[in-house]
Amino acid sequence: MSETELPDAPTAAETSELDEDDRLKPGFVRAVLDAVEEGDPERARALVEPLHPADIADLFELVPADQRAGLAHAVHDLLDADVFAELNDWVREELIDALEPHEVADIAAELDTDDAVAIIQDLDVEDQREVLRAMEPDDRAAIEEALAYPEDSAGRLMQRELIAVPEHWSVGDVLDYLRGNEDLTTDFWEIFVVDGRHKPVGSVALSWVLRTPRGIAISDVMKREQTLIPVDMDQEEVALRFQKYALISAAVVDASGRLVGMITVDDVVHIIQEEAGEDALLLSGAGEGDINEPIRDTYKARVRWLIANLFTALIAATVIATFEGTIERLVALAALGPIVAGVGGNAGTQTMAVTVRALATNQLTQSNTLRSILREMQVALLNGSTVAALIGTAVALWYGSPILGVVIGGAMLANITIAGFAGVLVPVALERFDQDPAVASSIFVTMITDSIGYLAFLGLATLALSRLA
Amino acid sequence: MSETELPDAPTAAETSELDEDDRLKPGFVRAVLDAVEEGDPERARALVEPLHPADIADLFELVPADQRAGLAHAVHDLLDADVFAELNDWVREELIDALEPHEVADIAAELDTDDAVAIIQDLDVEDQREVLRAMEPDDRAAIEEALAYPEDSAGRLMQRELIAVPEHWSVGDVLDYLRGNEDLTTDFWEIFVVDGRHKPVGSVALSWVLRTPRGIAISDVMKREQTLIPVDMDQEEVALRFQKYALISAAVVDASGRLVGMITVDDVVHIIQEEAGEDALLLSGAGEGDINEPIRDTYKARVRWLIANLFTALIAATVIATFEGTIERLVALAALGPIVAGVGGNAGTQTMAVTVRALATNQLTQSNTLRSILREMQVALLNGSTVAALIGTAVALWYGSPILGVVIGGAMLANITIAGFAGVLVPVALERFDQDPAVASSIFVTMITDSIGYLAFLGLATLALSRLA
């Protein structure tokens, strides 16, 4: 699409290797693999060379696991730090295992601390030590310091390369400082102003520095109201804070308030995406749920969940078993029960998904929990009445038994209403107990809707039958 | 938490109105509402005044709908454009309906085009016309132009305020231009270099401009390899592109390749979050799934889904009904059938969630679809064998009937295997037919796992019983 629209502005997104969604075309991937298999690394290299690092990373994710080492060998000189920074965690680990420690060290050395840490923290302790030993002392010190912070914390996420200037400087001083120091990072979007104890007192967007005469004091153009990130803050909180306050970069401070690093939005974007996407996976019990995850890990993650669900299913089965007498008298109940349980489960899942989302985005707090419950109850009553009327009528007509229609309709209404209640209450309760609502909610909600569904339906049926008798 | 850690660096995130997750404390929200109810707007204003716009927006989302107008009246002068830009769509619409067109126009005029459009596009045509009539001609023109682009397109997302300079300029020219023009935007992170026909030929990060001597030509420091965004590109694609290439801002070009606007990452972050979080909601059939959505809309969105599920449940019921003879002979089957169907459904949902996620993040393409299917089949066989062994043994022991154990174990293995297959195939197929896999997948998958579950279990049971007889 871009191709036809942007004839004379070549961009990474238009090179013919990519389709309109920026995905590598199957034909291209095959061509590269063929070249590798036919022992023609030069051709493979020629194909891969023009790709953006992010696309080279995609390429490695798209080729079969057993062919990645061969491809890596063929294009080893294109496998630079930027590519590794973009690689899927599982694929990256795999490639790094295939490399020599000193090769990993060379790659890590090129990276900003945050990306280097991302690579090294995945290695097992033994390899970590080897890689670190092979690094320059300064780099090693920076990495080791970062690794000292808890996993998924701001300390792991931040880069130490940043621009900090004393508050008494003028804009001119800043410009001279930036122009005079070759070795400063170029990956920054604002300048942090610090006091004598290296505590941030303000920040200046580069656009302001550019538009201010040299003579003006930096402290006169800096923004004093700034959002600081505690070094031990969880990355999910960091992501929410970046999003809420629309930050491009933010200063990271240690427990004593000193400036120790900087986090830029491009590092946070991945986390926002992962954290937000995680819910769909967690709610389904698929754990990390990555298609590159080793099968063993996937099996472990999922089977646990299925066994948990097996137990909840057994509870429902016990409920049904207690009504076997009723079912023997009217076997049709065996076919109808699952309808009540199933649709109730769906209703509960809807409410639960919305609640989990609202909790994750801080939309749902103590201030509006009660209101949300009332809201969901109203929705549940509306949904319940509608579905109950439909199934009640259908069953009454089909079996020519109005009473059976009333039984299933009543059970359906009851189950959907309770489902709506549980759909809010379960996640909220889990959150209060500092559990991730996305992880365990659906087990409980399904357990409730299954049991209540059969209990209500078969219970009402038993009463009705005894009436009829 | 920040409070104790950053004694002398006050930030929005630490003001005592916020808890450690940057959420407004219930006590604070109540205090503001009390002030409003007691007819003391001054006190309410004093409480709200120190808040960050994003927090003021949160406040309006947290208070009950019927008290928002009163609060808005009390703090009307704090309700500036930044607050509206941060408001939840539903709450924003509500507040805007409460305002006069000229008030909305004043607010919109303060905003960059992208935020102004976000507000105005939600109004109904009548109000839109009124608001636009009340705006300055230039602002109106810009907004109307933006509204001409399809909803959720880059054209709606971009801002027209950007810095573009001719390629023959020197760094000095750029600096003088920036310092000389008061009315330029300050919300930019890179400068776009354009040719005579206003087509982007490169871009320069501000950090580069700052570090380059005045004499150097801008074309010597600019990055020629840039990612352009076609003005009609869907916002989801834009978000993926920003994420993939770690962009801070990008030039938006029209069909002829001319620079027409700029998108900055802070506008994209919300989309990445929404799009990624959407899947959990869509998979559950909760539609937009926002806790601020009017109940009527929520009901409409969800009941459709429940009715669809009602039909799939009826299909399963029909399957069961055809085996009523078998159930009459062994009523225990009525209690055991749902176990096979339920756990199979869970297994299918796991695979489906992972597949939908992989499709949404472009991890799963034609190149690795077959591999993913094989992978899921292996996981399914492992999960199936484990769960089958467990339930088979349990049932055999409980009912003292090895053959019944074999029957349920075999049915479980079959259902979980087919669930894994359907879990990949259904979303992939929907994607191929340009349907959103997240929307319809679970209906089909559940239908399959329910029907197959009962069919396999009751079918095997029938065979087994006839053997026994």
Contact indicator for A445, A423 with CB cutoff of 8 Å: yes
Distance CA B282, CA B269 (A): 20
Q: Between β-strands A249-253 and A259-264, what pairing exists: parallel, antiparallel or unpaired?
A: antiparallel
Q: Is B356 an 8 Å CB contact of chain A?
A: yes
State the pLDDT confidence band at A4, using cuts at 50, 70 and 90.
very low
Alpha carbon dihedral B297, B448, B276, A438, in 10-degree steps, equals: 90
Interface test with B, best of A269, A272, A385 (most B CBs within 10 A): A269
Least Cα distance to B385 among B395, B373, B393 occurs for: B393
State the pLDDT confidence band at A5, using cuts at 50, 70 and 90.
very low
Mean local confidence (pLDDT), A76-102: 82
Instruction: Locate CATH 1.25.60.10 in chain B.
Output: 11-157
- Helix, strand, coil distribution of chain A in percent, nearest 5: 65, 5, 25
Contacts of B39 (CB under 8 A, 6+ apart): none
pTM attached to this predicted model: 0.83
Contacts of A124 (CB under 8 A, 6+ apart): none
Contacts B186 to A, Cβ<8 Å? 205, 207-208, 211
Give per-residue pLDDT as tens, B140-162.
888 888 889 998 899 988 988 89
Q: Is the pLDDT of residue B231 over 70?
A: yes
Give per-residue pLDDT as tens, A335-374.
999 999 999 999 999 999 999 989 988 889 888 999 999 9
pLDDT at A269: 87
Angle, CA A241 vertex, CA A238 and CA A247 arms, to 5°: 105
Contacts B237 to A, Cβ<8 Å? 21-22
Q: How far is A210 from chain B (nearest CA, A)?
A: 7
Return residues 50-79 of B near A (CB < 8 Å): 52, 54, 58, 61-64
Mean local confidence (pLDDT), A11-30: 75
Q: How far is B166 from chain A (nearest CA, A)?
A: 16
Q: SS3 letters for A379-444?
A: HHHHHHHHHHHHHHHHHHHHCCCHHHHHHHHHHHHHHHHHHHHHHHHHHHHHHHCCCCHHHHHHHH
Give per-residue pLDDT as tens, A33-53.
999 999 898 999 999 999 998
Q: Is the pLDDT of residue A9 over 70?
A: no
State the pLDDT confidence band at A83, using cuts at 50, 70 and 90.
confident
Report the percentage of chain A scoring pLDDT > 90: 53
State the pLDDT confidence band at B439, using cuts at 50, 70 and 90.
confident
State the pLDDT confidence band at A164, using cuts at 50, 70 and 90.
very high
Contact indicator for B191, B206 with CB cutoff of 8 Å: yes
Q: Is the pLDDT of residue B13 over 70?
A: no
pLDDT at B469: 55
B251 has which bridge partners? Answer: B262
Residue of B199, B208, B307 lying closest to A387 (CB–CB): B307
Give per-residue pLDDT as tens, A307-331.
999 999 999 999 999 999 999 999 9
CATH class of B164-282: alpha beta
Q: Is the pLDDT of residue B6 over 60?
A: no
Interface test with B, best of A71, A270, A303 (most B CBs within 10 A): A303
Average pLDDT, chain B: 88
Residue of A184, A206, A257 lying closest to B9 (CB–CB): A257
Mean local confidence (pLDDT), A159-166: 92
Greater confidence (A1 vs A330) lies with A330
Greater confidence (A351 vs B267) lies with A351
Mean local confidence (pLDDT), A138-163: 88
Instruction: Locate CATH 3.10.580.10 in chain A.
Output: 164-282
State the pLDDT confidence band at B7, using cuts at 50, 70 and 90.
very low
Q: Is A43 an 8 Å CB contact of chain B?
A: no
For chain B, the distance separating the N- and C-terminal CA atoms, rounded to the nearest angstrom, is: 71
State the pLDDT confidence band at A406, using cuts at 50, 70 and 90.
very high
Q: Between β-strands A190-194 and A200-205, what pairing exists: parallel, antiparallel or unpaired?
A: antiparallel
| A–B interface: beta-carbon pairs under 8 A | 455
Residue of B13, B227, B349 lying closest to A227 (CB–CB): B13
Give per-residue pLDDT as tens, A251-301.
999 999 999 999 999 888 888 888 888 888 888 888 777 888 888 999 999
What value of ipTM does the predicted structure carry?
A: 0.83
Highest mean pLDDT among A278-292, A395-409, B52-66: A395-409
Interface test with B, best of A245, A330, A373, A426 (most B CBs within 10 A): A245
Residue of A269, A283, A342 lying closest to B269 (CB–CB): A269
pLDDT at A460: 96
What DSSP designation does B230 have?
E
pLDDT at A337: 95
Domain B11-157 has CATH 1.10.287.130: no
Interface test with B, best of A284, A310, A355 (most B CBs within 10 A): A284
State the pLDDT confidence band at B334, using cuts at 50, 70 and 90.
very high
Average pLDDT, chain A: 88
B26:A253 CB<8 A: no
Least Cα distance to B57 among B27, B31, B81 occurs for: B81
CATH superfamily of B295-468: SLC41 divalent cation transporters, integral membrane domain (1.10.357.20)
Mean local confidence (pLDDT), B87-91: 85
| Minimum Cα–Cα distance from A171: chain B residue | B210
Instruction: Locate CATH 1.10.357.20 in chain B.
Output: 295-468
Mean local confidence (pLDDT), B354-367: 89
Mean local confidence (pLDDT), A97-121: 79
Q: Is B321 an 8 Å CB contact of chain A?
A: yes
